[in-house]
Amino acid sequence: MIRRLNAADVGHLCTGAMFVACTIDHESSKQYRDMTLALIELKGGGPVLAPVGSLDPAAMTTSIGFVNQGLMFSEMIPVGDEFETAIALLQERLGVPLQGVFPLAAASVNAMVAVSVALRTGLPLVDADPMGRVFPLVSQTTLALAGLSAGPIALTGPTGETAVVDVFAPARAERIVRALASELGGWAATASYPVTAAQLGAHGVVGSITRLIEIGQILDSSLHTQQKYVRLTSLLGIRKVIRARVTDVEGLSRPSVPGLPDRPSSATLVDEAQGRIVRLEIQNEILMMIVDGAIQAVMPDVITMVRPEDASVAGLDDLWVGNKLDLITFPAAAQWYTAAGRALVEPMAMNVVGPARGGRAR
Amino acid sequence: MSAMRRGVSMRDLLVAHDSAGLTGHHIPSSAQSVRDIALITRVEQILEVGPDSIVLLAEELALGGWVVSVALRYAWERRAVALIVSEQSFSESVIELARRFGVALLTTSDGIDRTALTLARELGALEAGILSRLDALHSRVLRAASIPEVLSEISQELGDAVVQLVVDGIVLESHGTRPAEPVVARLVLSPRDRGHRGQEGQHGQHGQHGQHGPELVAAVAPVQQAFADQALARAGMTVRALLLQQELDDLVGAAPLLSFAALSGLREDGAFDDSRSEQPALRRLPSGTSVAAVVLRVADVDQRSARIAPVVTSRWRETFPRVPLARLQSGWFALVPLAEPAAELDDALQRLADSGLGDLGAAVGVAHDPHGTEQVTSLLRRAGLAARLAEPGGPVLDFRRFGPPLLRRLLPAEDALDLALTTYPALLADPQASEIIATVVSYLDCAGSVTAAAEHLGVHRNTVQLRLRHAATLGVTLSHPERLLSTHLLLSALDLRALPVATRPTAEL
Amino acid sequence: MRIGVRVTRDEVSAVAAHADGRFSRARSAASGSRTRVVADTLALLAGDGSESVSAVVFEVSGALDREVDASVVSVLIEPRRPREPRRHLWPAEGIPVEIAHVSGGHNALGHELVPLGEDELSRLSAGMHAGSHLVVSAAGAAVNPEHEHRAAELLRSAVAVGSITESSTFYSDSLLVREFTAVLNAVLLAGAEQLAASLADAVSQGLGEGVRAFVATNEGGCTPLSRLAITPVHSICADLAAEMLGAAELARRPDARIIVARPGAVRIGEFVDGLPSVVSRAVLRGGISLASSVAHVVPLTDLLLSGSAEPPVTVLVQGAERELESFGIAPTLVTDDDLVAVGAAVAPVSYWHNRVARVVGADDIERVLAEGEAIARANLVSWGAHPAAVRITESRVLATTYGEAQMIRVRVRGMAATDASGFPSGARLEERRA
């Protein structure tokens, strides 16, 4: 059903986008949320959210997203026209009008950017994305898994400089766009993966925007924490919620010192119920959750943290010794659990150590 | 790679590897033995790690602190004893995980490959050391002349841990002291089942009671278990040989006695046939030596003798080191010279009976001949009779102390009356039967002394003699010694108050 | 003897920590001249002078006033001018700020992306009021502050400004967080200058020349009182840290989780090795970030208390029985001491060295760390610490969030206790600095 998102939807979407990528800085997401809300108020209406099936199957769509290498948007702040420029360039190169945009990742800031761009350009926001969560590389998409081209890619940097890259292989696109982002000043606002609505429907993660809004509706509601978990469980297939207290946080810094590191690379928690030792491995996102030495969840599984008191989304700032958090894991989109999907997104380390078997030899 | 389990202790190994390279972050307090060193260079190898291994993670695998957590988990799953990784700092939680899994966690500053090589070399050296210790023990055991000596040798090698020879749960011989919280190493020495049960898997499992032949058992500190298994295995043959030799010695020592048994009829269960002639020459003890016959009676001895014999003979030897014990069909017997007062013999016999023989179903009977005048066969019969009446596990029964209650067990009063009515109808019909019977019994009780009987009954000697003559007229003859015992038994068993009314005693003559 | 003084608008409360572990207290209402009241209080605690005073540490969070009608101009130096108004952080604090944009900026490697718009700056200075507080914030200044330095010089030479604050004085990865911190600092400057001068006078009046004066900072340390006139923002919530420090001191627990219950608030903080855990940004009411290291002190919740392995140390300030009761915990210690003043008395001098550096190999890392430690030591010694008493409590490199592997952040923290013999009476700190 095609509908126009209202201010509440945008708020929920932001909560959902932070929930599925809790360790990535929430400030940028909130910044885009607030900008979008201001714009909705100004324009008197929100962007159109269109199910993939509502579009003409031949309609051309594009993914929208920041690719970062260097200073973050918090330091090198976008002025606001970057994506419009990129979309115009891509349209020009494709020679056909774009009829919808979707986020490069339905998570974190890129989910919010797509809403903002849809609102600015008047293009419908297509209810799908090619990751169903966030992965660090441009090439880690279900569209790439399906053998679709990542290019041509149009991009704009902080200085206003632009480029259009004719590239097919997603892995090459990742390297070239990343290098350009660095040279442009820290990031590139990209329009990539131009696909038809039919291709997106067949190979994308369909309904991911709606799902983020639904997550946000649950988390932003006045329900009790446990009731929220019950709802989330039926929505996401959550395996387990572990309530645990942070006992140790290690940073990337060397040597590590007692206290609170600025950027944790791993956190150790002790499970409240059974005293099990839970270890989170963090590299931008939470890559892995290990419980008593057994790998409980690993990329592509989504691992996230919420605050027990109100099920609000926690972040890296909440990883301080003594604090209590609820750890939640749930499966990512089904495409990622195929052999090809795993090969594309599983951490390298998983090739080294397979999952522990769970039982003891006799 | 698998090695024969020889029980190198992990602590020994890590101490032996005294290069400063190893740092222990957690070493479990429980002792563990090591039998393999596993250097993991490829992932899949971790699934092939055998129990009791020390696992070393190659440097290229230690990609992050979490790998150590996961490797600890694997180590636990595979029952490995230790994990060694290259030098790094662990958070307390990793060490806590090692503690929970009971897996030792160490780092090395030496390089993983070098450490693996060093540990493998040390393991080999320690294993070789253990083999030579076992060999030395074996040759000492071979020279031992007795089972206690063998046990003492093993015990010393195991740090004075307790080592026992056990039969049917009864400790025959024991040496050493029991360590705190021991584990048990066990070697079955069943003569019927020559192949002793395997070297592994028998620990602590005590089979169904009564099913075991002799066993060697060592209770040792956990770290010594594997070594104790090996030590017992090395000593097993010698102990078996010594056990057999003892049996043989017992047979030789008891050979002269066996003819008594043949003559006395004790071979035929329960017969008191005194019809055979005596052959006093067979008595090896000089006439006039006070002696006691002892019979150890065991029910179903045929089926169980193989398992019981070592216990019985061993216990006997402990109590009467120089007195041979001879086998009977229904048990064992011996003739014990009474060098000491009779009370000491009784005490010794009771100790014997209490030393676990009762559990085996052995009852002990004894008959004394304080003046060395009794015929050996009748002495044996009396002892045999006493053994039949004795309860397994109960007090030793002395033939002299047969009381009416015991006799009644042999011949109940009702049966005695029936028997008496048939055998001595005239006596029972006599109005004075009661007095006459009492007099006869008293006379026989007093070993044929009229004076003693008169004194016992509180009547005049003449009265006794009168009644005895009267008895003879009523068919109770006391002139045939071979009948005395049965007469004595029969009349003793009669309840004089329950005689037929017609025979109510009249007034005193 | 060290003296901690909590100075608020209404009150002066002081605690002397004697060498033998005793504490003595003095408290007076702030009436009339603040300098006089503080001087008298200090003189009272110093007593007959038999025990010399090694340091006075002021905690001034309750006495820092914002300039009400300050004119603040924020100059943002970025590659491009924003198409729409930004969401700055200072409106939430009700600070009126005028914004100006100038082109410029450096990338994550410290290379100039866009040249500094010097002409724009000249035009800008022409329209400025004398006495304005200027805040200069350039994109990429955390890595390379060259554009901020040049812009500040240009503006200073062109206008008679009240003050110029460069955002790179404060460490943060966020341009707007640095800008906000500099703006807040700017509106505190005038009051802080006055306060610092008044307190310095009070020390010399009350205790004589040569006694070192310090100001407590947000992270549980202190810096020379002269720094208060430059970066007052680092002292705006120093009371929370000082209170925890005071509680830890009274409980004599250098490594523990510490709960302080005082009327109106129950808070918890963690101590490691005698120092409170520190986070590199403060969060003000409304969730606004401030680029200032701050002791990690949070309101106690039942959740934080439940299922804890090691029970925290609880210090109850008399009068807060009811607050503590609601958590169902018994106090380890009950006190009527002014914990903030106690904490100030024992606060160590603390120096932070924060910079972004480009390194190629391990040798470079060693070098930048050694440099950082040397800078920290030199500063602490110049503040009067005995070289042997300086502790480097933190010295490390952190990955930057820039995704450029060779760019690292160096963070070094040096500390020295103020009761060390290196604080000789006679040598006057302010003079040496001047």
Cβ distance of C403 and A69 shorter than 8 Å: yes
pLDDT at B194 over 60: no
pLDDT band at B282 (very low <50, low <70, confident <90, very high): very low
Q: Looking at CA atoms only, how far is residue C401 from chain A in angstroms?
A: 7
Say yes or no: A105 and A202 in one domain.
yes
Structure tokens at C245: 């420090």
CA C172 to chain CA centroid, nearest Å: 15
A62 touches chain C (CB under 8 A): no
CA distance C74 to chain A (A): 16
DSSP H or E stretch at residue A345: helix A339-345
Q: Best interface-test mutation with A: which of B61, B93, B99 has the largest number of A CBs within 10 A? A: B93
B389 and B337 together in one domain: yes
Query: Which of A255, A270, A353 has its CB closest to that of B67?
Result: A353
CATH of the domain at B104: 3.40.1390.20
The alpha-carbon gap from A277 to the nearest alpha carbon of chain B, in Å, equals 7
Q: Check whether residue A202 and residue A245 sit in a common domain.
A: no
In this prediction the ipTM stands at: 0.85
Tell me whether A310 touches chain C (CB under 8 Å).
Answer: no
Q: Is there a contact between B7 and B33 (Cβ–Cβ < 8 Å)?
A: yes
Q: Is B248 on the interface with A (CB under 8 A)?
A: no
Give the pLDDT score at C243.
93
Q: Is B259 within a domain?
A: no
pLDDT confidence band for C242 (50 / 70 / 90): very high
pLDDT at residue B81 in the model: 83
Same domain, B310 and B419: no
**Which residue from B66, B89, B100 is facing A279, i.e. has the nearest CB?**
B66
Contact status of B96 with chain A (Cβ, < 8 Å): yes
What pLDDT score does A57 carry? 94
CB-based contact A261 C78, cutoff 8 Å: no
CB A101 within 8 A of CB A125: yes
DSSP string, B47-79: GGPPTTEEEEE-GGG--SHHHHHHHHHHHHHTT
Across the interface, do A279 and B43 touch by the CB < 8 Å criterion?
no
In this model, does residue B273 exceed pLDDT 60? no
The reply to whether B269 and B397 lie within a common domain is yes
Asked if residue B395 and residue B415 are part of one domain, the reply reads no
Q: Does B420 have pLDDT greater than 70? A: yes
- Closest-CA residue of C relative to A32 is C87
Q: Chain C partners of A74 at a C-beta cutoff of 8 Å?
A: 173-177
| Average pLDDT, integer, range C121-147 | 91
Share of chain B above pLDDT 70, in %: 76
In this prediction, residue B5 has a pLDDT band, given cuts at 50, 70 and 90, of very low
- Pick C79's closest partner by Cβ from A72, A185, A251: A185
> Are B77 and A353 an interchain contact pair (Cβ–Cβ within 8 Å)?
no
Identify whether residues A22 and A164 lie together within a single domain.
Answer: yes
Q: List, in order, residues 6 or more apart from A3 with CB less than 8 Å away.
A: A48, A49
* One domain, residues A195 and A250: no
> Is B226 a residue whose pLDDT tops 50?
yes
Pick from C80, C87, C108: which is nearest to A71 by CB? C108
CB atoms A69 and C404 under 8 Å: yes
Q: Name the residue among A279, A348, A351 with its Cβ closest to that of B69.
A: A279
Report helix, strand or coil for A290.
Answer: strand
d(CA B242, CA B431): 68
The reply to whether A170 and A304 lie within a common domain is no
A303 in a structural domain: yes
Q: What's the CATH code, domain C72-189?
A: 3.40.50
What is the rounded CA–CA span in Å between residue C272 and residue C254? Answer: 6
Domain CATH for B322? 3.30.70.270
Mark which of B401, B434, B461 sits at the end of a domain: B401
Express the helix, strand and coil content of chain B in percent, nearest 5 each: 50, 15, 35
Dist CA C215 CA A47 (whole Å): 53
B277 pLDDT above the threshold of 70: no
Do B66 and B44 lie in one domain? The reply is: yes
Under an 8 A CB cutoff, do C398 and A261 touch? Answer: yes
Based on the fold, state whether residues B383 and B415 are members of the same structural domain: no
Position B172 scores a pLDDT of 76
Residue C187 has pLDDT above 80, yes or no: yes
Which residues from chain C sit within 8 angstroms of residue A272, using beta carbons?
306-307
Q: CA C32 to CA C43: how far, in whole Å?
A: 17
CB atoms within 10 A of CB B318: 14
pLDDT (0 to 100) of residue B397 = 79
Co-location of A177 and A283 in the same domain = no
Q: What is the mean pLDDT of residues B264-275?
A: 42
In A, residues 257-286, which contact C (CB 8 Å cutoff)? 257-263, 270, 272
* DSSP class of B401: G
Contact A259 C105 (CB under 8 A): no
Q: What pLDDT is recorded for position B271?
A: 37
Residues A97 and A173 in one domain: yes
Q: Is residue B260 part of a domain?
A: no
Residue A292 forms part of a structural domain: yes
Q: How far apart are CA B23 and CA B249, in angstroms?
A: 60
Q: With an 8 Å Cβ cutoff, is A179 touching chain C?
A: no
- Indicate if A242 and A169 belong to the same structural domain: no
Confidence at residue A326, expressed as pLDDT on a 0 to 100 scale: 92
Q: Is residue B131 part of a domain?
A: no
Quick check: B200 pLDDT over 60? Answer: no
**Domain boundary residue, one of B358, B383, B401:** B401
Domain count, chain B: 4
Answer yes or no: do A185 and C175 touch at CB < 8 A: no
The closest CB to that of C175, out of A74, A79, A81, belongs to A74
Q: Please report the pLDDT score of residue B201 as a whole number.
A: 38
Cα torsion angle, B47, B53, B59, B62, sign: positive
Q: Largest alpha-carbon pair distance within chain B? A: 118
Same domain, B77 and B14: yes
Considering only CB atoms, C396 lies closest to which of A245, A255, A317, namely A255
Split at pLDDT 50, 70, 90, the class of B254 is low
pLDDT tens string C266-303: 999 888 878 888 887 787 777 788 899 889 888 888 87
With contacts defined as CB-CB under 8 Å, which chain B residues touch A294?
70, 73
Q: Which of A32-46, B93-107, B314-328 has the highest mean pLDDT?
A: A32-46
A-interface mutation test, from C107, C300, C350, most A Cβ less than 10 A away:
C107
Query: How far apart, in whole angstroms, are the C-alpha atoms of residue B91 and residue B85?
Result: 14
From residue A20, alpha-carbon distances to A132, A153, A215, A295 in Å are 9, 26, 9, 20
- B207, pLDDT greater than 70: no
Of A293, A353, A358, which has the smallest distance from its Cβ to B43's Cβ? A353
Same domain, B173 and B280: no
Determine whether the interchain pair B66/A360 forms a contact, defined as Cβ–Cβ distance below 8 Å: no
**Mean residue pLDDT across chain C:** 87
Exposure string over A187-201, b if 16+ CB within 10 A, otherwise e? bbbbbbbbbbbebbb
Considering the domain boundaries, does residue B247 fall inside one? no
Contact between chains at B91 and A352 (C-beta distance less than 8 A):
no
Last residue of a domain, one of A208, A228, A246: A208
Same domain, A127 and A267: no
Per-residue pLDDT 10s for chain A (362 aa) are 889 999 999 999 999 999 999 888 888 888 889 889 988 998 888 999 999 999 999 999 999 999 988 888 889 999 989 999 999 999 999 999 999 999 999 999 999 999 999 999 999 999 999 999 988 888 899 999 999 999 899 999 999 999 999 999 998 999 899 999 989 998 999 999 999 999 999 999 999 999 999 999 999 999 888 888 999 998 998 887 888 888 877 765 444 444 444 556 778 888 877 888 898 888 778 888 888 888 888 888 899 999 888 888 988 888 877 788 999 999 999 988 888 888 888 765 554 444 444 455 55
* Partners of residue B55 in chain A, C-beta under 8 Å: none
Residue A213 counted as domain residue: no
Of C79, C83, C176, the CB nearest to A81: C83
pLDDT in tens, C66-115: 988 888 999 999 999 998 888 888 888 888 999 999 999 999 888 999 99
A251 shares a domain with A190 = no
Domain boundaries, chain C: 72-189, 349-416
pLDDT of residue C83: 87
Nearest C-alpha neighbor of C314 from the set C384, C378, C244: C244
- Chains contacting B with at least 3 CB pairs below 8 Å? A
The CA distance from A224 to A240, in Å, is 17
Residues 248-287 of C with CB under 8 A from A: 257, 268, 270, 272-273, 275, 277-280
Which residues, in sequence order, are CB contacts of A168 under 8 Å at separation 6+? A149, A150, A151
Q: What interhelical angle do A108-121 and A26-43 show, nearest 10? A: 20
User: Is A touching C (3+ C-beta pairs, cut-off 8 A)?
Assistant: yes
Indicate if B21 and B103 belong to the same structural domain: yes
Rounded distance between C-alpha atoms, residue A349 and residue A346, angstroms:
8
Which residues in C lie closer than 8 A to residue A69 (C-beta atoms)?
402-404
- Residue for token pair 């986020």: A103
pLDDT exceeds 50 at position B329: yes
Tell me the C-alpha distance between C227 and A203, whole Å.
Answer: 60
Q: What is the pLDDT of residues B140-190, one digit of tens each?
A: 888 887 888 888 888 888 878 888 888 766 777 788 888 777 788 888 876
Mean pLDDT taken over chain B:
73
For residue C404, list chain A residues with Cβ-Cβ distance below 8 A.
Answer: 69-70, 182
A248 with B96: Cβ contact below 8 A? no
Write the pLDDT tens digit of every residue in C11-60. 999 999 988 888 899 898 878 888 999 999 999 988 877 788 889 999 99
Report yes or no: A159 at the C interface, CB cutoff 8 Å.
yes
Residues of A in contact with C142 (CB under 8 A): 75
What's the rounded Cα separation, in Å, for the pair C14 and C20? 18
* Assigned domain for B340 exists: yes
Q: Do chains B and C touch (3 or more CB pairs under 8 A)?
A: no
Q: How confident is the model at residue C432 (pLDDT cuts 50, 70, 90)?
A: very low
Domain around B366: 265-401
Q: Of A125-134, B355-364, B369-378, where does the model show the most confidence? A: A125-134
B109 shares a domain with B33? yes
Residue A156 is assigned to a structural domain of this protein: yes
Given a contact cutoff of 8 angstroms between Cβ atoms, the answer to whether A336 and A325 are in contact is: no
Chain A contact for C115 (CB, 8 A cutoff): no
Range of the domain at A245: 238-333
Identify whether residues A182 and A87 lie together within a single domain: yes
B270 — pLDDT class (breaks 50, 70, 90): very low
| Amino acid sitting at position B442 | S
Is C147 touching A (CB cutoff 8 A)? no
Do A247 and A201 fall into the same domain? no
What's the CA angle centered on B351, arms B346 and B356, to 5 degrees? 140
Identity of residue B335: L
Residues of C whose CB is below 8 A from A308: 303
CA distance C192 to chain A (A): 29
Residue in A75, A79, A321 nearest the CB of C80: A79
Q: In chain A, how many domains are there?
A: 2
Alpha-carbon span C89 to C74, nearest angstrom: 12
